[in-house]
Amino acid sequence: MPHINLSSEFPGIRSLFMFRPETAAPLNALVQAMLHNPHPTLSAGERELIATYVSRLNTCKYCCNIHGAIAQHHLGNNAEIVQRVLADPETAPISNKMKALLKIAAKVQSGGKNVLPEDIELARSEGATDMEIHDVVLIAAAFCMYNRYVDGLATWQPDDPELYDKMGEQRAREGYLTPPFKVVASQ
C-alpha cells in the first residue's frame, strides 16, 4: 500500500510521475540523457546494465526488473547477459572495461567517498575514458535516487515478468519521454 494517494493504474515510478508531473519532467530528461541518447562509446544496453545492477544492490525490485528488461531489449533480447551481470559481474560475459566500470558503480552505491584512485586506475587500464567514468558515477548516483524514491513511497511493484518485458520493449524503443500505458492490477 503506497504511503501517499497514488493512481493504481501505473506501477512503480510511473505512479509517481502521474502524481507530480513537475518533477517527472527533469527526472525523465535526466534518464533520457544518461541511458537512451546516443553515446560515443557506451551502448544503451551497457548503460542499462549499470542501472539494473545498482538497483539490485539497492534491492529495488521495480527498478531492477524494468531496467533489466530494457537492457535485454537493447542487447538483442539476450536475457542471459542481464542475469549473469546481476548474479556476479566478474564472471559475466561482458568486457573487462564494463567489469571495472561496474566495480566503480558498486562503490558509488555504498558511498561516493568509497570510490578510490585505484578503482579509477583499474578502469583506465581497461580503456575507460573520462566521459565513461563520469557517466558510470552519475548513473550509479542517480539510481541511488530513483530506487529510494520508488521504495520510499512504497509504490506498487508487480511481479509479472511479461509486464516488465512489455514496458521494457516500449522504453528501449521509444526512450523515456513518451507517456506510459495503463496497467490493470491482476491482484
Which residue's CB is nearer to another protein, number 10 or number 81?
10
Cα–Cα distance for residue pair 136/36, rounded to 1 Å: 14
In order of 24, 25, 30, 53, 131, the CA distances from 170 in angstroms are 18, 18, 18, 20, 28
- Alpha-carbon dihedral 44, 42, 49, 51, rounded to 10 degrees: -80
Binder of another protein out of 101, 102, 140, 172 (CB under 8 A) = 140
As given in the structure block, the three cell numbers for residue 111 are 558511498
* Per-residue x/- track, 96-135, another protein (CB under 8 A): --------x--xxx-xxx-x-x--x---------xx-xxx
Cα separation, 71 vs 125, whole angstroms: 26
Q: Is 21 in the site for another protein (CB under 8 A)?
A: no
Residues 24-53 contacting another protein, CB under 8 A: 25-27, 29-30, 33-34, 37
- Alpha carbon distance 48, 36 (integer Å): 9
When asked if residue 146 is in the footprint of another protein (CB under 8 A), the reply is yes
What is the smallest separation between the CB atom of 113 and another protein, expressed in angstroms?
A: 5
Which residues, other chains included, contact 173 with Cβ-Cβ below 8 Å and sequence gap of 6+? 73
Residues that bind another protein in the complex, under the rule CB under 8 A? 3-5, 16, 19-20, 22-23, 25-27, 29-30, 33-34, 37, 58-60, 104, 107-109, 111-113, 115, 117, 120, 130-131, 133-135, 137-138, 140-142, 144-154
